[in-house]
């Protein structure tokens, strides 16, 4: 009875702590690359294992600028949110379309052509979110990777992230926005806290860690605590955290990030502690890339392409 009442309350009004509402009710993405692969290969001997271990686990829907046209983005987000609401579930979205995306690694390069195009794209996304509860992870790697931009481009990136936060707050008040903060082995906490503040996290729910990476859960929590300590001491507030646990079951391997062997899926989505959520942001089995000047990608395939072989390796930890 309590659980049913909690779900109804979450659907009617934004929660003081959205994590409490969302912890047990995340939406299973029926259009994930893993789910589509299983549907297309029902007789493949790997299909049952991939369905159970990955496709049937709640995960994020990535919005990239190429996965949906700007003109159809509002409708796509609205339909997805409505499908989640009809199941009394909370959808998780990832916005990944800033200009000069992945400017250092290169494997996922792309994004909007310019700031004006990005603002238009954000407006369409926010219109689709509307007043329905959702979680939004804003721009993986954007802050941790910002130093590969010119000073003018850095200032623009921060301005665009503030725009996304503010538009979400104004027009999608039931959406909890988390700004990506890289991972525990990328930037010092003081540096990242300053970047988060400059990007407008004061008006967001929190920050996201370890997206598409492999660092252990406790390591990410410790880094998140260090970020909050800096946010508190320097700016007078703290924020909630999301940790991507989709592939961190065996931890990281010497900082490798591009399809490293021996990794494993981690704990399933849910509330870990007050203001700490585990989410599957990256789809296990989606490649990190087939080439990068900074890393061995272990044969690819191209970034974002689902590989059943990669999926099985993550399920089995090899």
For the chain, the structural domain boundaries read 2-316
d(CA 134, CA 14): 10
Q: Which of left, alpha, beta for 111 (phi over 0: left; psi -120 to 50: alpha)?
A: left
How much is the pLDDT for 22?
38
Tell me the pLDDT tens digit for each residue of 189-206.
Answer: 999 999 999 999 999 999
Can you tell me the distance from the alpha carbon of 17 to that of 13, in angstroms, rounded to the nearest whole number?
11
Asked which of 5-9, 76-80, 154-158, 264-268 is least confident by mean pLDDT, the reply is: 5-9
Q: How long is the chain? A: 318
Architecture of domain 2-316: Alpha-Beta Barrel (3.20)
pTM over 0.95: no
220's CB contacts (< 8 A; 6+ apart) are 183, 184, 209, 210, 243, 248
pLDDT at 71: 85
Q: Residue 15's pLDDT is what? A: 39
Q: Higher confidence at residue 311 or residue 66? A: 311
What pLDDT was estimated at residue 292? 84
> Do residues 304 and 34 touch, judged by C-beta distance below 8 A?
no
State pLDDT tens for residues 87-103.
999 999 999 999 988 77
**Contact in structure between 283 and 33 (CB atoms under 8 Å):** yes
- How is residue 295 annotated by DSSP? B
- Determine what percent of the chain is predicted with pLDDT higher than 70: 91
Three-state secondary-structure class, residue 232 = helix
Of 43, 100, 102, 180, catalytic? 102
At 105 the pLDDT is 67
Helix, strand, or coil (residue 187): coil
Average pLDDT over residues 249-270: 94
Bond prior to 301 in cis (omega within 30° of 0): yes
State both tokens at 141.
């790697």
Instruction: Report the distance separating Cα 190 and Cα 257, nearest Å.
Output: 23
**Any catalytic annotation for residue 102?**
yes
Under the banding of pLDDT at 50, 70 and 90, the label for residue 180 is very high
- Closest alpha carbon to 57 in 315, 318, 317: 315
Contact by Cβ (8 Å): 291, 312:
no
pLDDT in tens, 286-300: 999 998 888 899 999
What share of the chain in percent tops pLDDT 90?
A: 82
288 is catalytic: yes
Which one, of 288, 276, 281, lies nearest residue 265 by Cα?
Answer: 281
Taking only the tens place, the pLDDT of each residue in 20-48 is: 343 458 999 999 999 999 999 999 999 99
pLDDT of 69 above 60: yes
Q: Which strands sit side by side in the sheet containing 175-180, from one edge to the other?
A: 61-63, 92-95, 134-138, 175-180, 206-209, 240-244, 276-279, 270-273
Out of 100, 180, 244, 288, the active site residue is 288
Q: Which two tokens stand for residue 108?
A: 């996922």
Cβ atoms of 140 and 303 within 8 Å: the answer is: no
**In this structure, what token pair is assigned to residue 192?**
């990242």
From the list 100, 141, 176, 180, the catalytic residue is: 141
């Amino acid at each position: 009875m309590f659980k049913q009442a909690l779900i109804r309350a979450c659907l009617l009004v934004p929660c003081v702590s959205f994590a409490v509402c969302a912890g047990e009710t995340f939406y299973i993405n029926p259009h994930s690359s893993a789910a589509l692969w299983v549907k297309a290969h029902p007789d493949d001997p790997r299909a049952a294992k991939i369905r159970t271990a990955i496709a049937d686990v709640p995960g994020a829907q990535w919005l990239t600028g190429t996965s949906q046209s700007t003109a159809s983005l509002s409708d796509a987000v609205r339909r997805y949110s409505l499908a989640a609401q009809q199941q009394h579930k909370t959808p998780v979205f990832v916005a990944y379309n800033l200009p000069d995306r992945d400017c250092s690694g290169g494997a996922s390069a792309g994004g909007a052509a310019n700031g004006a195009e990005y603002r238009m794209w954000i407006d369409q996304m926010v219109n689709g979110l509307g007043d329905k509860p959702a979680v939004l992870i804003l721009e993986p790697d954007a802050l941790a990777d910002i130093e590969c931009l010119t000073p003018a481009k850095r200032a623009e990136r921060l301005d665009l992230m503030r725009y996304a936060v503010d538009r979400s707050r104004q027009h999608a008040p039931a959406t909890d926005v988390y700004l990506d903060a890289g991972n525990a082995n990328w930037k010092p906490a003081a540096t990242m806290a300053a970047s988060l503040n400059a990007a407008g996290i004061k008006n967001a729910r929190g920050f996201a860690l370890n997206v598409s990476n492999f660092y252990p859960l406790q390591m990410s929590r410790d880094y998140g605590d260090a970020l909050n300590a800096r946010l508190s001491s320097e700016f007078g507030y703290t924020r909630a955290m999301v940790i991507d646990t989709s592939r961190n079951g065996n931890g990281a391997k010497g900082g490798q990030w591009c399809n490293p062997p021996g990794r494993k899926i981690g704990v399933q989505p849910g509330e870990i502690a007050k203001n700490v959520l585990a989410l599957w942001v990256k789809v296990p089995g989606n490649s990190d890339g087939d080439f990068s000047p900074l890393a061995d990608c272990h044969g690819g395939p191209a970034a974002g392409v689902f590989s059943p072989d990669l999926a099985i390796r993550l399920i089995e930890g090899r």
